[in-house]
Amino acid sequence: MKKIDVELFEKMHIAGKLAARTLDELTSFVKPGVTTNFLDKICYEYIKDHGGNSAPLYYRGFPKSCCTSANHTVCHGIPSEKILKDGDIINVDVTAFINGHHGDTSRMFYIGDISVKSKNLISATYVSMMKALSIIKPGMKLGDIGATIQDYVELKGYSVVKDFCGHGIGTVFHEPPNVLHYGKKNSGITLKSGMIFTIEPMINEGKYDIKILNDGWTAVTKDKTLSAQFEHTVGVTDEGFEIFTKSDKNLTQPPYLV
Ligand code: MF3
Ligand code: CO
Ligand code: CO
């Protein structure tokens, strides 16, 4: 069996930790009245101050340092002067680039008091990612990840976005394989120890269809229902898996999840 590249895994832990700490840092600022531009500024500065760069900035023309996707925005929302208000839910997606390696992670934040339906969607999305993660080991098929997510969220009446997927990551931001968040058990490539990729399911309250706004980036649900997303960067090890983007403070997990 191939052994993991220990040095590569250490670099991924450093990049992943910086991305996770950036989201931890944002937590206290996500309150009613804050703009998504302000969150972007904190993200930019925190990563800079800790020796890295924000990979999204100028990536394929993306204008900001992170993605901020609120309510019915599925992903790739562009930070702006939009003011967050009580009851909003928002995904912030951060990718730190440090020492030549990328750490990519996102989580949901809650502004003030949010509805029960928002909590349920967010919880199911988080659980689907963690269920998919926890089965990772060498020898399994990539399709099992997607199948695990799809089976879990569809039972709850939600749908899996099909237009975006997880991805291989390391010195390159996005590389093969594509990690679909839906699919059939026992399909796709066989996982080997040493592989590194993201799992980042986008789950919609309504139908899975999305549309892209005129800015060329922002993806929203076509039926305007809520959407949630979480993302971790993970590595396949001889024993199973490692999460590179774990929060030291366990802040990824929704607080109301039992
Ligand atoms: N962080 C996103 C991902 O999970 C990619 C954002 S690309 C950007 O893959 F250009 F929109 F920032
Ligand atoms: Co990603
Ligand atoms: Co991301």
Name the band, by pLDDT with cuts 50, 70 and 90, for residue 91.
very high
Spatial distance between the Cα atoms of 19 and 103, rounded to a whole number of angstroms? 6
Over residues 68-79, the mean pLDDT reads: 99
Instruction: Give the number of other CB atoms < 10 A from CB of residue 197.
Output: 26
pLDDT at 217 over 90: yes
Which chain residues have CB less than 5 Å from ligand 3, an ion?
Answer: 93, 104, 231
Residue 256, pLDDT score: 87
Tokens (6 digits) for 226: 């809520």
What does each C-alpha distance from 38 to 69, 74, 196 come to in angstroms?
A: 14, 20, 31
Q: Where are the beta strands (DSSP E) in 12-158?
A: 53-54, 66-70, 73-75, 89-98, 101-110
**CA–centroid distance, residue 118 to ligand 3 (Å):** 21
Instruction: Give the number of other CB atoms < 10 A from CB of residue 92.
Output: 27
pLDDT at 45 over 60: yes
**CA–centroid distance, residue 107 to ligand 1 (Å):** 13
Residue nearest to atom 12 of ligand 1 (CA): 56
Residue 257, pLDDT score: 86
For ligand 1, residues with CB inside 6 Å are 56, 59-60, 62, 67, 76, 93, 95, 104, 200, 217, 231
Residues 57-61: contacts with CB under 8 Å, at least 24 apart: 59/173, 61/216
**CA–centroid distance, residue 31 to ligand 1 (Å):** 23
Residue 60, pLDDT score: 98
What is the per-residue pLDDT across 145-174, written as a single tens digit (0 to 9) for each?
A: 999 999 999 999 999 999 999 999 999 999
**CA–centroid distance, residue 193 to ligand 3 (Å):** 22
Counting from 1 in the atom list of ligand 1, the atom nearest the Cα of 200 is 4
